[in-house]
Structure 1
Amino acid sequence: MSDVDSFIDEVTEEVRRDRLYLLLRRWGWVGVLAVVVIVGGAAFNEYRKASEASQAQALGDAILAAMEQNEASERATALEAVDTHSAGEDAILGFLLSANQAEAGSTQQAVERLNSIAVQGDLPEIYRAIATFKALLLQNDTLPVAERRLQFEALAAPGAPLRLLAEEQLALIDVSEGNTDAALERLQALRQDAEVSTDLQQRAAQLIVALGGTPQPIAAQQG
């Protein structure tokens, strides 16, 4: 390589170095900011996880302490004092609270608590369906039959999470109204459903026998 070529290379390298330094002085803060954002984001994410874990543990401890009370009324009072931080936590606490309120004889309060869960649109459908179902069971002797039938029919809609349990309750309503044929037809169909559990299938068979019917053989399910 000639001296001229060597000189040109050195000058070119100097120009490149000067440009790099200029770029670093002008835009170096972008890189620094990116590092700060990445590190800060990771730190915040760890803090959030730790905070959520701490809240969950505090909620669990408070619920366990409340459930250690001897009387249902005392457990209900203790549960009412527990703080929640999300709709899901509030629903879980509400189920426990309503169960103890019902056990303590405060059925109306239990129904109101369950109904408040049932109308929370930000909860998963299964939570709302369970709340409605439990509230209806608690009102078996107080809510008009027509109203109970209407609500159970809504829970028995195709694709609903508690569809089959609602069908069982509708069969019991048929029985209470003296409509044995309708109850038997509903129970036979319930036993044949592809999604029916063994326990529910057996309960339906027992009720069919009690009503004087004969459970139909279970059709083979095609996989």
Structure 2
Amino acid sequence: MSEFYDEVDEEVRREQLKKLWDRYSIFIIAAAVLIIAGVGGWRGYQYVEANKAAEAGSAFNKALELSEQNKPAEAEKAFAEVAASAPFGYRLLARFHQAAEAAARDKAAGVKLFDELAADRSIGPEQQSLARLRAAGLLVDTAPYADLKKRLEGETVADAPFRHAARELLALSAWKANDAGAARQWLDMIALDGETPPGLRSRAEAMQALLPAVAKS
């Protein structure tokens, strides 16, 4: 008798499953198709992105070779092409290299490109800071101290990633402008920062020795 009931239960379950399938089969099939399509699309996207990265890497390396061959104009053009179409990482590197190559022929052109990077929030605050520092480095011999201070003062605070280099550039600019007080300000910040790199600390000490005696009192 128990076997009979088992057979009846099995038949009931089978009938229920058939009803469920008849009612929802279109949705089950659609979901399966969507899953398969999604996996296929993701695999396809990964393949396309991998190809883009490989092409960008090859183009970037060719631009580097032109730079190493002392062909700044050609290298600048090649980096500009990478910056225009490559994935984000290569695009960012190419923009920095493009600016450096431009500066080799025309400092103003290099400053302009670094300033564009500094103003681009999409690249992140640390890269913006680096761009500001690179632009200031090109201007330190020619721009007034007030201009350098406007560009870099925000980069000298305690948690700024490139504060050591920014302070050194401002000290050098102030020294060139014969502003011993301002030079002393930045040199003191360098001396008092326990994380100042040894090489920079040595250069700061040498610059301090060049200050007039009145500035040391």
Normalising by structure 1, report the TM-score. 0.79
Q: Is the 8 A contact 1:98 1:113 kept in 2?
A: yes
Q: Is the 8 A contact 2:168 2:204 kept in 1?
A: yes
Q: Distance in 2 between matches of 1:50 and 1:138?
A: 41
1:152 Cα offset (Å): 0.9
- Per mean C-alpha deviation after superposition, the further-off stretch among 201-210 and 57-66 is 201-210
- Give the aligned residue type for 1:91: L
**Shift in alpha-carbon separation, 1:209–1:44, aligned structure 2, 3 A:** farther
- Give the aligned residue type for 2:81: A
Look up the SS of the partner of 1:159 in the other structure: coil
- State yes or no: 1:59 paired with 2:60: no
Q: Deviations over 1:168-216 (max 9, x none)?
A: 1222233223333543353243233243233323332333344479xxx
Q: Deviations over 1:71-103 (max 9, x none)?
A: 212222333333424454332111111111212
Q: Please, which runs of 5 or more residues in structure 2 have no aligned partner?
A: none
- State yes or no: 1:97 paired with 2:98: yes
The percent identity for this pair of structures is 27
Q: Is the 8 A contact 2:53 2:86 kept in 1?
A: no
Give runs of aligned pairs for residues 1-223 of structure 1, distance below 5 A: 3=1, 6-69=3-66, 70=69, 71-82=71-82, 83-103=84-104, 105-211=105-211
1:142 Cα offset (Å): 4.1
Q: CA RMSD in A?
A: 2.5
**Shift in alpha-carbon separation, 1:212–1:193, aligned structure 2, 3 A:** same
Q: Distance in 2 between matches of 1:184 and 1:146?
A: 16
- Per mean C-alpha deviation after superposition, the further-off stretch among 161-170 and 60-69 is 60-69
Q: Is the 8 A contact 1:88 1:123 kept in 2?
A: no
Q: Distance in 1 between matches of 2:205 and 2:145?
A: 24
Instruction: Please list every run of at least 4 consecutive aligned residues from structure 1 whose deviation after the TM superposition is greater than 4 angstroms.
Output: none
Q: Is the 8 A contact 2:53 2:87 kept in 1?
A: no
How many residues are aligned here? 209
- Give the aligned residue type for 1:191: A
Look up the SS of the partner of 1:27 in the other structure: helix
- Give the aligned residue type for 1:46: R
Q: Distance in 2 between matches of 1:119 and 1:180?
A: 31
Q: Please, which runs of 5 or more residues in structure 1 have no aligned partner?
A: 214-223
**Shift in alpha-carbon separation, 1:164–1:22, aligned structure 2, 3 A:** same
Q: Distance in 1 between matches of 2:43 and 2:144?
A: 53
Q: Deviations over 1:32-89 (max 9, x none)?
A: 3343333333332222222222112211211222333332122223333334244543
1:128 Cα offset (Å): 1.0
Normalising by structure 2, report the TM-score. 0.81
**Shift in alpha-carbon separation, 1:195–1:22, aligned structure 2, 3 A:** farther
**Structure 1 or 2: more helix by fraction:** 2
